Structure 1
Amino acid sequence: MDNIGFLFLNTFLFCTCLASPPNFVLLFADDLGFGDLGCYGHPSSLTPNLDRLAAGGLRFTDFYCTSPVCSPSRASLLTGRYQTRSGIYPGVLYPGSRGGLPLNETTIAEVLKPMGYATAAIGKWHLGVGANGMFLPTRQGFDQYLGIPYSHDMGPCWNLTCFPPDVKCFGLCDVGTVTVPLMHNEVIKQQPVSFLDLERAYSDFATNFITTSAKKKQPFFLYYPSHHTHYPQYAGQGAAGRTLRGPFGDALFEFDNTIGNLLTTLEKTGVTNNTLVFFTSDNGPELMRLSRGGNAGPLKCGKGTTYEGGMREPAIAFWPGTIRPGVTHEMASTLDILPTIASLAGAKLPQVMLDGVDMTEILVNQGKSKRETMVFYPTDPDEKYGLFALRLGKYKAHFYTRGATHSGTTPDQDCPVFAVLKAHDPPLIFDLEADPSEHYPLPLTGKPDLQALLERIKKVKEQFEASMVFGESQISKGTDPDLEPCCNPQCSPKPSCCKC
């Protein structure tokens, strides 16, 4: 079949499948680097199900998150808006944070609810709990939630040493911190959570949700932001010790097993060909953790930085019969997921300034992206500094560079926290197609074409920053120990009595 014939057939199948609204499964890894999957070049990762998604779907080479740390990246994914607009900055939210994702922000779940979708979230929320659970997923458009509402390392000892399967605990614990809770909707089901059983609970919950929705012939949206592969890694009995990569590889393998269970359930319920499965990650690898921190592949630095390793992510779109297997070099972002899902579901977009664009043309026809620009904010955005970097086409300009604690231990001296803030005027410009590692800034002297490019970049930056209205910082509202989730809120003494 020639290309014209294939495109005609693909468009026909696409229109046919949309006779009933498509389902959506959104998989979001944690601290997974660009080079951590076998299908992206890692020699020893064991991820048969993600490899299957990549072989049968569309793999992105130029896909970006919006922040090199957790909470702001998740806010952008769910709202299609940079975190600076929603106020999820600087840094991340904590168990007792007063703030959270503002309720006037519209999530993907809230876009789909008016269309009759069943919606569920499992895993790491990390967008706030708040007084009386006001920021939990069930207040943001999700019918059901099972998970830990923040990062799984935010417990006693920061959970850095006493973790399964090696549960010996050394050193002094942070006795002022509650143990990590497992929540079902807005109720604490278990505290502290059993990490050895957690992934099985997630898998069962998700497969039941898919099965129930399919039986009802109700379209569904499942959002699974995993705790894997954030440090410290854990793995249950079916995955611990099973890979060549140690705890990191075991955690990734456990996540991959759940993805396999979800794919099997889609097949058993007969909805595979009417379901878009999209996989990506929240930010780059935490290189300070050495072999347990992940891998950015050829990209520079990792988590916490605005270099490519901090914000360029693996991404796979899988939809048999609609998405043709292959690789796309088109630029896209987590920002684009909300408008794409809205378009595919025939749902209305929120009446706010969106930063995302519809990716349907890339997915269905492997066509051109509507995205020409990607901007890079640091972990602590500030109107005084504005953007740290901007990508226009294949070129990326760094106006400021800075290392991060998360990216320590690497031989590259630009990555660790000791690489202090530097302003660049003119900015450092890299050709990311020729130099994705950002090693060789382009010389501007005597290069009129690059001078013209620089002027274009400056103009785009000026226009974007003029459109950016910073929302009130939710994280700057501080924390209150009384807001830390406790399954026995009237007990004493806290937090040691918060057990159930």
Structure 2
Amino acid sequence: MEKFTVVGLVLVSLCQASPLPNFVLLFADDLGYGDLGFSGHPTSLTPNLDRLAADGLRFTDFYSTSPVCSPSRASLLTGRYQTRSGIYPGVLYPGSIGGLPLNETTIAEVLKPLGYATAMMGKWHLGYGANGTYLPTRQGFDHYLGIPYSHDMGPCHNLTCFPPNVKCYGFCDVGTVTVPLMKGETITQQPVDFVNLEDAYSDFATEFIRSSAQKRQPFFLYYPSHHTHYPQFAGWKSVGRSLRGPFGDALLEFDSTIGNILQTLKDTGVLNNTLVFFTSDNGPELMRMSRGGNSGLLKCGKGTTYEGGMREPAIAYWSGVIKPGLTHSLSSTLDILPTIARLAGAPFPKVQLDGVDMIDILFNHGEGQRKAIFYYPIDPTEKYGVFAVRMGQYKAHYYTRGASHSETTPDQDCRLISVLKYHDPPLLFDLESDPSENYNLSVKDHPELVSVLQEIKELKENFEASMQFGESEIGKGTDPNLAPCCNPQCSPKPECCRCEITY
């Protein structure tokens, strides 16, 4: 009864408050569980995220729904597994025919009917399509500044990633257009200027927050960063400042933008009425070695259904409302939409949601509603279903497989040589005592765990019975002519797609 009363009083007070709460959603790219200062990395410089962690509620057991970009972003914005919306297998590309279906309801579309201003800056990666069919402006966002897909999806070997003239390191996609920067639905730069990109984002966020605050209009700002995805880049304010090299400089630049956002919230007087939530899309790309992030004590990284691939750092911060602390409650990116909807008093989308609200966790540091985490691979199928299930402290692996994204690590289980394996009985790990998934708990040695495996099996079967796979948007293929070009009539493509529009 006490738990209900505490949560209920908070919600009543929020609902009576004027104006409606604002929401800032910060989403890192390929950031590992062990990459941040507050999580123990000795040379990462992340003062603003460290402060958020100290003053907010930090999650130790928070998960994305996929070990790669596009699917995890679809789930974040819709509260539904990527299998329902068709964002599988893998990721979308510049010329992809499909994208996040327009009949899916995003967080922005949940909030707009209530009068919210909505804006996004950064990495979209949920489709471009014919004539910009799938851009954020078609999915509920009033304002957009960013790159419509991953910034390595275009030739980059001649581009400058660090000042004064340090070229981007390594291999990016070739045979397609150079990476564009878009404002709304207009390409303003092609190729994008990486050195000054983050400053543009910071200015965009400041202007949007100030404008909304002056109008006394509630707002939703979504910032899915390019940092710290490969190839790393940073501008003059961050280059050379980290002890961690290019990766650390890119991470510092991301952290600095977060600091600017927080300062703007404070300066405009809306900090105490704003929920700031931070997490990442998937684990680190270990194949890049020191340029690819670190999963800390967790096993493997991007591309795998081990903990390092899908367990993410996460922080909820609301000055004066959410008490600082630490929670071990199971939570997911799926839970962000229901949480925001409930806090804003918005109706849920009339579809089957996979997320549950985190109200009890945020305001009471309670256990929350989530009973299980289901781990899908990069290429989910109805035949194999989920690869692993976590229930409470236990995680059962029904299938395991390595991934190219996690190559170079000494752990052979993470690498491509570790082919798909079926486990019967499933591998079972106690993630509270063994978060690195080192010690399989055999039921022969632990007969008391037979009932645990049976309960996990029932959860898995019930979940898979409820899952309806949508048509694969990625399976629709690609058309090179769809890749965004600022000068669509030019020739020869893609080399001629270069321009800069000034306002």
SS in 1 for 2:61: strand
Query: Normalised by the size of structure 2, how large is the TM-score?
Result: 0.95
The equivalences for 1:109-188 within 5 A come to 109-157=108-156, 163-165=161-163, 167-168=166-167, 176-188=175-187
Partner of 2:352: 353
Conserved 8 A contact 2:58-2:326: yes
Partner of 1:107: 106
Conserved 8 A contact 1:58-1:317: yes
Partner Cα separation in structure 2 for residue 143 and residue 35 of structure 1: 35
Partner of 1:492: 491
Conserved 8 A contact 2:7-2:360: no
Amino acid at match of 2:80: R
Conserved 8 A contact 1:164-1:196: yes
Partner Cα separation in structure 2 for residue 303 and residue 171 of structure 1: 18
Partner of 2:450: 451
Partner Cα separation in structure 1 for residue 293 and residue 306 of structure 2: 16
The equivalences for 1:217-236 within 5 A come to 217-236=216-235
Conserved 8 A contact 2:31-2:281: yes
Q: In the TM superposition, what is the alpha-carbon distance from 1:452 to its structure 2 partner? A: 0.9
SS in 2 for 1:63: strand
Conserved 8 A contact 1:64-1:313: yes
Amino acid at match of 1:489: P
Q: In the TM superposition, what is the alpha-carbon distance from 1:156 to its structure 2 partner? A: 1.1
Query: Could you say if the C-alpha distance between residues 10 and 290 of structure 1 is closer, same or farther in structure 2, counting changes exceeding 3 Å?
Result: farther
Amino acid at match of 1:467: S
Q: In the TM superposition, what is the alpha-carbon distance from 1:497 to its structure 2 partner? A: 0.9
Partner of 2:439: 440
Partner of 1:23: 22
Partner of 1:242: 241
Amino acid at match of 1:453: V
Q: In the TM superposition, what is the alpha-carbon distance from 1:15 to its structure 2 partner? A: 3.3
Partner Cα separation in structure 2 for residue 15 and residue 220 of structure 1: 15
Q: Does 1:462 align with 2:464?
A: no
Instruction: Output one character per residue of 1:407-432: Cα deviation in whole Å (capped at 9) or x when no partner.
Output: 01111110111111110000001000
SS in 2 for 1:54: helix
Instruction: Output one character per residue of 1:53-95: Cα deviation in whole Å (capped at 9) or x when no partner.
Output: 1111000000000000000000000000000000000000000
Partner of 1:200: 199
Q: Does 1:388 align with 2:387?
A: yes
Query: Could you say if the C-alpha distance between residues 8 and 341 of structure 1 is closer, same or farther in structure 2, counting changes exceeding 3 Å?
Result: closer
Conserved 8 A contact 1:153-1:160: no
The equivalences for 1:7-46 within 5 A come to 11=10, 14-15=13-14, 18-46=17-45
Q: In the TM superposition, what is the alpha-carbon distance from 1:14 to its structure 2 partner? A: 4.8
Query: Could you say if the C-alpha distance between residues 466 and 482 of structure 1 is closer, same or farther in structure 2, counting changes exceeding 3 Å?
Result: same
Partner Cα separation in structure 2 for residue 168 and residue 44 of structure 1: 24
Divergent runs of 4+, >2 A = 6-20, 159-176, 446-449
Instruction: Output one character per residue of 1:240-289: Cα deviation in whole Å (capped at 9) or x when no partner.
Output: 11100001100000001100100010001000000000000000000111
Query: Could you say if the C-alpha distance between residues 169 and 443 of structure 1 is closer, same or farther in structure 2, counting changes exceeding 3 Å?
Result: closer
Partner of 1:412: 411
Partner Cα separation in structure 1 for residue 246 and residue 405 of structure 2: 18
Query: Could you say if the C-alpha distance between residues 268 and 173 of structure 1 is closer, same or farther in structure 2, counting changes exceeding 3 Å?
Result: closer
Identity %: 73
SS in 2 for 1:336: helix
Partner of 2:63: 64
Partner Cα separation in structure 2 for residue 161 and residue 333 of structure 1: 36
Partner Cα separation in structure 1 for residue 352 and residue 114 of structure 2: 22
Partner Cα separation in structure 2 for residue 447 and residue 330 of structure 1: 25
Conserved 8 A contact 2:152-2:173: no
Instruction: Output one character per residue of 1:422-477: Cα deviation in whole Å (capped at 9) or x when no partner.
Output: 10000001000010000001020153321111111111111000000000000011
Amino acid at match of 1:164: F
Instruction: Indicate the RMSD between aligned Cα atoms, in angstroms.
Output: 2.0
Unpaired segments ≥5 residues, structure 2: none
SS in 2 for 1:330: coil
Q: In the TM superposition, what is the alpha-carbon distance from 1:216 to its structure 2 partner? A: 0.2
SS in 1 for 2:226: coil
Conserved 8 A contact 2:68-2:282: yes
SS in 2 for 1:430: strand
Query: Could you say if the C-alpha distance between residues 457 and 494 of structure 1 is closer, same or farther in structure 2, counting changes exceeding 3 Å?
Result: same
SS in 1 for 2:230: coil
Q: In the TM superposition, what is the alpha-carbon distance from 1:489 to its structure 2 partner? A: 0.5
Query: Could you say if the C-alpha distance between residues 366 and 17 of structure 1 is closer, same or farther in structure 2, counting changes exceeding 3 Å?
Result: farther
Partner Cα separation in structure 2 for residue 125 and residue 72 of structure 1: 12
Conserved 8 A contact 2:153-2:172: no
Partner Cα separation in structure 2 for residue 113 and residue 248 of structure 1: 36
Partner Cα separation in structure 2 for residue 235 and residue 172 of structure 1: 18
Conserved 8 A contact 1:13-1:322: no
Amino acid at match of 1:115: L
Partner Cα separation in structure 1 for residue 369 and residue 8 of structure 2: 23
Partner of 2:94: 95
Instruction: Output one character per residue of 1:283-318: Cα deviation in whole Å (capped at 9) or x when no partner.
Output: 000011111111111100000000000000000000
Partner of 1:252: 251
Partner Cα separation in structure 2 for residue 178 and residue 47 of structure 1: 34
SS in 2 for 1:98: coil
Partner of 1:323: 322
Unpaired segments ≥5 residues, structure 1: none
Amino acid at match of 2:96: S
Amino acid at match of 1:304: G
Partner Cα separation in structure 1 for residue 324 and residue 171 of structure 2: 51
Query: Could you say if the C-alpha distance between residues 170 and 55 of structure 1 is closer, same or farther in structure 2, counting changes exceeding 3 Å?
Result: closer
Partner Cα separation in structure 2 for residue 321 and residue 349 of structure 1: 27
Partner Cα separation in structure 1 for residue 171 and residue 44 of structure 2: 34
Partner Cα separation in structure 1 for residue 245 and residue 170 of structure 2: 23
SS in 2 for 1:386: coil
Query: Could you say if the C-alpha distance between residues 335 and 400 of structure 1 is closer, same or farther in structure 2, counting changes exceeding 3 Å?
Result: same
Conserved 8 A contact 2:119-2:208: yes
Partner Cα separation in structure 2 for residue 305 and residue 34 of structure 1: 14
Partner of 1:279: 278
Q: In the TM superposition, what is the alpha-carbon distance from 1:160 to its structure 2 partner? A: 9.6
Give the paired residue count.
Answer: 496
Conserved 8 A contact 1:26-1:279: yes
Amino acid at match of 1:163: C
Partner of 1:475: 474
Conserved 8 A contact 1:10-1:364: no
Partner Cα separation in structure 2 for residue 155 and residue 17 of structure 1: 49
Partner Cα separation in structure 2 for residue 403 and residue 346 of structure 1: 43
Query: Could you say if the C-alpha distance between residues 169 and 128 of structure 1 is closer, same or farther in structure 2, counting changes exceeding 3 Å?
Result: closer
